[in-house]
Amino acid sequence: MFYRDIVDNNPPLWFWAAIPSVWIGKVLGVGVHIVAMTVAHLSSLIALWLFSKCIDGILSKSERGVALLGFLIAVLWVAVADVTQREQSALIAGLLWLVLAVRRDAQLPVSVGLALSIGFFSAYGFALKHYFVLIPLSVEAILALRLGKKWRPFRPETFVLAALAIAYASLVLLFTPNFLAQIAPMTALSYDAFSAWSGLPTWQAILMIVGPAQFLLVPLVLAIRLK
C-alpha cells in the first residue's frame, strides 16, 4: 500500500502520472525512463505550440521568434537536470498561465480550446507541490488589479484548474489517506527540525518565510502604476 509499504514524502500525483509510462514501456519493451522522457519532451513541444498561440497578436514576428526561443531554452535548460521532474512541469505551467493572463489583459480573443488546454497543463504543474498554487494566485491578483471590473474569475482555464484541483484532493483523500495522516505531518516535523528558522520566535520565523516573498510586491505595484 502506498505510504505504508512504500514510504515517500512527495504527494502521489507524480507516481500516478508515471503509471502510463510504465505500461507503455512494458508493451514496447523499452525502459520506463525512455518513455517518461519522450512524453516530457513531447509535452514541452505542445506547450511551446500553446505559448505561440497565446503571443499571437501581442508581439511582432521578430519578437515572437525571440519569445519562442526563450521559452524553449528555459524549458530545456531546466530539463537538463530535471527532465520529467516537478521543476520543469511547474515552469511550463507558470509560463503558460502567465502568457494567457497577458492575452486576457490585452483583451484579445482566447479560444475555448486554448484556454482549456492551458488549464489542463497548468493544473498538473501546479498540483505537484502545494505551494505552487501561489503562482496562479499571484498572476490572478495582478490581472484583477489591471482589469478592475472587467476581470472575470470564472473562465475556462480557471474552471478546469479548480475542477482538477478538487478532483485531485478527493483522490488523495480516497486512495492515499496515509499521506495526509502520516507522511505530511512527519515531513513537516522533519523540515521544522532542520530548517533555518528552527527554534526561532514565531514572529521571526514568519518574517523569514514572508520576507523573500516580498518580490511579489514589485509586479503588484507595477500592475497598479501601469493601469
The per-residue pLDDT for 112 is: 94
**Rounded to two decimals, what is the model's pTM?**
0.77
CA-closest candidate to residue 107, choices 59, 57, 67, 47: 57
Report CA-CA distances (Å) from 178 to 8, 130, 165, 174, 207: 11, 17, 19, 10, 32
Residues 6+ apart with CB under 8 A from 121: 43, 46, 47, 50, 92, 93, 96
Cα dihedral sign, 190-193-196-198: positive
∠ CA 73-12-97, nearest 5°, is 40
Listed range (59-63, 117-121, 192-196) with the worst mean pLDDT: 192-196
pLDDT(83) > 60:
no
What is the per-residue pLDDT for 49?
A: 92
pLDDT tens digits for range 111-169: 999 999 999 989 988 888 877 888 888 889 888 988 888 889 899 999 999 999 999 99
Each domain of the chain, given as residue ranges in start order, spans: 13-177
Cell 500525483 -> residue: 13
Compute the average pLDDT of residues 190-212: 60
Q: List, in sequence order, every residue forming a beta bridge with 6; answer none if it has no partner.
A: 2
- The predicted pLDDT at position 212 comes to 54
Contact between 65 and 54 under an 8 Å Cβ cutoff? The reply is no
Provide the sign of the torsion angle of the four alpha carbons 64, 96, 51, 45, taken in this order. positive
How does DSSP classify residue 133?
G
**Residue of 140, 135, 103, 141 lying closest to 122 (CA atoms):** 135
